[in-house]
Structure 1
């Protein structure tokens, strides 16, 4: 069975007929509700917040964001703004009179909001669409870079985002997560029901600032099967262990030169040791 994103671009796939079919399906409503609540639990919001809904569609997730804490939405009701590439999906949301503000926009071209606008962001079943390029002038890497770069800028320092998506394979999963880390996020991949047909992948993201400082480990601590990728921590560790001119750096360079067939001086206990200044 072919995946929707492999057949048509999202703005064409979700036409009027498909948008209404998607919105009225009780099965899809149940799945969407479950994934939205899961995303909210990972955001750990304790008070009403301004949330960006990326690929908001017909507002199924937005309706949950608008619910109060008594209705099962932690910290709610939240104020939310959503954008989607499908005008048909947004048309259904307008007919339903959802409480969020709606925008027609392509996530692959960036996130059209001022820096630091949002406290948090969610995206349900949308990011995998960015892994396809619609023309030879674009590329999946470029679309992902523009999206995550814009998302990072739009979130306040210390903010979080959770993106649920359906990767086609491990390579696509890696491409998405690496694009997020390159944009500056601390990132962790969490997979529910791993190895089953009901598997759900969540990309949990943090923005440096406040108590988080881009560290994702506090967000996903205690969760099984989390693959943590934190660009800041990796960079700091690399700087500490392999600073240019250090013994580790020199030994690695020597090893590289030897593999290329170059002649290098033998290493000793003095390799990498700084000399005293002579007068």
Structure 2
């Protein structure tokens, strides 16, 4: 059976007829709700405390409704007008935005406490137009997402990687944008129940959550250590050196944060005398 992302671009595949399925097919709704609940669980949000969350590829608002049920406030972004029309008809409480994730997110820095995405991330790996470069689109998306999340936030993506190369492509661009984390695989030994969740963290490296269906240890693939190893292989500048400071300042600029301009004094050590 052909994968949906191979049949047409998302804005065309999710036409009015396809969008209606998400409000009429009870099995599809149940699956979406279950995956949404799991994604929220992996966010590790504080108990009984409403948060401002981002729903990426929100579609008809099914995952947003789960966020509402758990007391959170949310904003949804999707490229399909038909899906957003259904969300409006369903009178979801979240604010909705029509947009292409591959062109980046237009939100202010540090605006959100977390982000979830259900069955949307793999679409960014396609080149639906001659101008599309999946690597550049993924980096644009992840770097803008990193900028609009708080520095204690997580982003969790349930997605369907086509193969290991695609999973490497996605995770590499996420790590390049500044995220830590990796892939958690629930029920890895089941054909039907197996689910992939990309768990990204902004506040530094932390252990990946335990996967479901694994009694002894979680089935997870951490890319953080791999990234650190690659940095060392490239000759990462010493901490507090001029090169290290310039790299950090450039990273802050990409994240949209206020940063002082570079001068000849940047990184210069003080003599200790007055």
Q: What is the TM-score normalised by the length of structure 1? A: 0.77
8 Å contact kept, 1:109–1:146 = yes
Unaligned runs of 5+ in 2: 239-274
Q: Give the Cα–Cα distance (whole angstroms) in 2 for the partners of residues 163 and 244 of structure 1.
A: 32
Deviations 1:11-66 (A, max 9, x none): 00001111001332111111111111111111111121000000000000011100
Q: Do the aligned partners of 1:116 and 1:154 also contact (CA within 8 Å) in 2?
A: yes
Aligned pair partner of 1:54 in 53, 56, 72: 56
SS in 1 for 2:223: strand
Equivalenced residue count is 231
Q: C-alpha distance in 2, partners of 1:198/1:179?
A: 27
State how 1:129-208 maps to structure 2 within 5 Å: 129-195=123-189, 196-208=191-203
- Equivalences for residues 69-80 of structure 1 within 5 A: 76-80=70-74
* Corresponding residue number in structure 1 for 2:206: 216
| Distance across 2 between alignment mates of 1:233 and 1:63 | 36
The question of whether the paired residues in 2 share the 8 Å contact of 1:119 and 1:159 is answered with yes
Give 1:56-135 correspondences, 5 Å limit. 56-67=58-69, 76-135=70-129
Conservation of the 8 A alpha-carbon contact between 2:210 and 2:219: no
**Is 1:230 the counterpart of 2:193 in the alignment?**
no
1 CA distance for matches of 2:100 and 2:23?
20
Q: Deviations over 1:101-150 (max 9, x none)?
A: 00000001111111100000000000000000112222111111111111
Q: CA deviation at 1:198?
A: 2.8
Give SS of 2:22's match: helix
SS at match of 1:189: strand
Tell me the CA shift for residue 186 of structure 1. 0.3
CA RMSD of the aligned region, Å?
A: 2.4
SS at match of 1:66: helix
- CA distance in structure 2 between the partners assigned to 1:244 and 1:215 by the alignment: 20
Structure 1 unmatched ranges of 5 or more: 68-75, 209-213, 246-279
Distance in 2 between residues matched to 1:154 and 1:172, nearest whole Å: 25
Deviation of the 1:243 alpha carbon: 6.9
Separation in structure 1 between the aligned mates of residue 132 and residue 225 of structure 2, nearest angstrom: 26
Kindly indicate whether the alpha-carbon contact (under 8 Å) linking 2:78 and 2:99 is maintained by their aligned counterparts in 1. yes
CA distance in 1 between counterparts of 2:225 and 2:174 reads: 9
CA shift for structure 1 position 234: 1.5
Give the Cα separation in 2 of the matches to 1:202 and 1:39: 8
- Distance in 2 (alpha carbons) for counterparts of 1:2 and 1:52: 30
CA distance in 1 between counterparts of 2:183 and 2:151 reads 21
TM value normalised by structure 2: 0.79
SS of match in other structure, 1:83: strand
In the alignment, the residues of structure 2 paired with residue 60 and residue 174 of structure 1 have an alpha-carbon distance, to the nearest angstrom, of 28
Give distance in 1, aligned partners of 2:139 and 2:45: 27
Q: Which protein shows a greater Rg? A: 1
